[in-house]
């Protein structure tokens, strides 16, 4: 399975910085560069007011890490994925799976 991790990716976490006016500015900071495999899982069309949006779910697999969490972001080339869940099968497995949605 480790040999299937064939795409370079950046793991990013959201950073909130006080803007001086009582609010916060949101940015993303890369905290690691890793190798992943990307596999599409499902797609759905979502209807909204005056818009049709397509959502594609993916499974990203990478080497085990202890600093992954839902809400983070993964960049693979020009593609961006929002992490919805971290699926961990336990300490005996060398990889962890991320349930993600590709962002437009």
Q: What is the mean pLDDT of residues 15-20?
A: 90
Q: How confident is the model at residue 100 (pLDDT cuts 50, 70, 90)?
A: very high
Contact status, residue 99 vs residue 74, Cβ threshold 8 Å: no
Residue of 81 and 48 predicted with greater confidence: 81
Q: How confident is the model at residue 83 (pLDDT cuts 50, 70, 90)?
A: very high
Percent helix, percent strand, percent coil in the chain, to nearest 5: 5, 70, 30
The domains found in the chain, sorted by start residue, are 2-103 (2.40.10.270)
Residues in contact with 95: Cβ distance below 8 Å, sequence separation at least 6, in sequence order: 1, 2, 5, 61, 62, 63, 64
pTM (predicted TM-score): 0.83
Q: What is the structure's pLDDT at 2?
A: 61
The rounded mean pLDDT for the chain is: 89
Q: What is the structure's pLDDT at 56?
A: 82
- For the chain, what percent of residues have pLDDT higher than 70? 88
């Amino acid at each position: 399975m480790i040999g299937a991790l064939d795409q370079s990716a950046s793991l990013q976490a959201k950073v909130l910085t006080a803007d001086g006016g009582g609010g916060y500015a949101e940015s993303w900071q890369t905290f690691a560069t890793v190798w992943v495999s990307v596999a599409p899982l499902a797609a759905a069309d979502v209807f909204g007011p005056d818009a049709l949006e397509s959502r594609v779910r993916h499974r990203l697999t990478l080497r085990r890490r202890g600093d992954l969490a839902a809400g983070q972001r993964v960049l693979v080339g020009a593609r961006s994925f929002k992490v919805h869940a971290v699926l961990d099968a336990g300490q005996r497995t060398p990889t962890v799976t991320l349930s993600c949605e590709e962002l437009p």
